[in-house]
Amino acid sequence: MRLEDYNPLEDRSFSILDPDGEIINEKDMPDFTDEELLYLYKTMLYTRIIDEKALSYQRQGRMLTYAPNTGQEAAQVGSAYAMKEEDWLVPAFRELGAWLVKGVPLKNIYLYWYGNEWGSYMPEGVRVLPISIPIASQLQHAAGIGMANNIKGEKSVAVGYVGDGGTSEGDFHEALNFAAVFKAPVVFFIQNNQYAISTPRSIQTMSKNLALKAVAYNMPGILVDGNDLFAVYVATKEAIERARNGEGPSLIEAYTYRLGAHTTSDDPTKYREDEEVEKWKNKDPILRFKKYLKKKGILTDEWEEKTIEELEKEVMETFESIENKSDTEIDDIFKYHYETMPPHLEEQLNEYKAFLEGGK
């Protein structure tokens, strides 16, 4: 595939693996080892298990608001797997699979959704920005990281994630424009999961697809089957290498579907039909990957069972390790606003502690 040759105005989706697990585009099929294939499959399973557990904890009142990823695993895992360690991941908030690939510990992720800022403290060497809630605003950070790489002569690339809804924000436009003007090594990755909360993609924009918005910035844009890990990987890989080689930014639209709710506060039956959801279940990214692995003879039932068991155990243990032990230290509320705490904050902290100590 050559990204530049792909014309998003033609509104064709780039794909490799079909919902039945068949390779329909041998030419572009990436050259993964069996180990890699199993790693990718395992990571998608991990993602889904984390999701399922989080939802069940939430229902049990043990977890707070959580934004599920089910259905979007290929888009997340496939794109992040195309990144190198030195590349920067700039997420929105629904990028679980990408975080895991990039080395964010599950503990951080759960801690975050459990309501503790320490979840956003990334381990050394993990070039991942914290979750960014204000929609599309993070794309500007990705553009800036890329611009800095150019200035410093560094060869790393920033991958900025955004949702379909996020493409309507002014920041989306400005970030793509800056990245293009400064030929910044950035990949803008849209997870088009068809909805922004209850608002369908058709209300966000009249443009036929979101990838073609690249044209306005004279950068390559490509629409990929977001439930096809291979296609996502190949497109992202090429966009990243292109950026790394000094050829500037690109835009990828991963066409996918959020099978679950927007967050645990959301009831999707209010705004969409069951049939639609069913239709998309047949396109499940994990299922088709599994079919492919099975056909290739790489995946055994035993491996899968054992893996799921291990992962479930790990997920539960991780959650339990933070549950009820993650109340925020009072000092932590104050300590991280400035390198040195200014007197008025110190005073407020001390007064509050004195109040707590004074009983009541």
Partner 1 sequence: MANTLNIVQAINQALMEEMENDETVVVYGEDVGLEGGVFRATVDLQKKFGKERVFDSPLAESAIAGTAVGMAINGLKPVVEMQFSGFVYPAFNQIISHIARMRNRSRGRYNLPMVIRTPYGGGIRALEHHSESLEAVFAHIPGLKVVIPSTPYDAKGLLIAAIRDPDPVLFWEPKRIYRAFKQEVPEGAYEIPIGKAKILQEGDDITIVTWGAMVRDVQKAVDLIKDEGIRPEIIDLRTISPMDRDSFVESVKKTGRILVVHEAPKSFGTGAEIISIVNEKAFLYLEAPPTRLTGFDTTFPLPRGEKHYIPSPERIAKTIVDVVRY
Ligand X SMILES: Cc1ncc(C[n+]2csc(CCOP(=O)(O)OP(=O)(O)O)c2C)c(N)n1
- Closest approach of Cβ 69 to ligand X, in Å? 9
125 to 184, contacts with partner 1 by CB under 8 A?
129-137, 139-152, 158, 165-166, 168-171, 174-175, 177-178, 181
Q: Which member of 83, 90, 196, 254 binds ligand X (CB under 6 A)?
A: 196
What, of ligand X, Mg ion, partner 1, none, does residue 352 touch, CB below 5 to 8 Å by kind?
partner 1
Partner whose footprint covers residue 94, from partner 1, ligand X, Mg ion, none (CB < 5 to 8 Å by kind): ligand X
Nearer to partner 1, 155 or 294 (CB): 155
- Report CA-CA distances (Å) from 237 to 159, 189, 241, 242, 335: 11, 12, 6, 8, 40
Q: Least distance from C-beta 170 to partner 1, angstroms?
A: 6
Nearer to its own copies, 181 or 287 (CB): 181
List binders of ligand X among 107-136 (CB under 6 A).
133-135
- Selection from Mg ion, its own copies, partner 1, none that 343 binds (CB < 5 to 8 A by kind) is partner 1
Q: How far is the CB of 101 from its own copies (least distance, A)?
A: 30
Q: Which is nearer to its own copies, 173 or 294 (CB)?
A: 173
Q: State the catalytic residues.
A: 258, 262, 271
Q: How far apart are CA 257 and CA 237, in angstroms?
A: 22
**Cβ pair 159, 189 in contact under 8 A:** yes
Q: Which does 219 bind (CB under 5 to 8 A by kind): ligand X, partner 1, its own copies, none?
A: its own copies
Pick 201 or 237: Cβ nearer Mg ion: 201
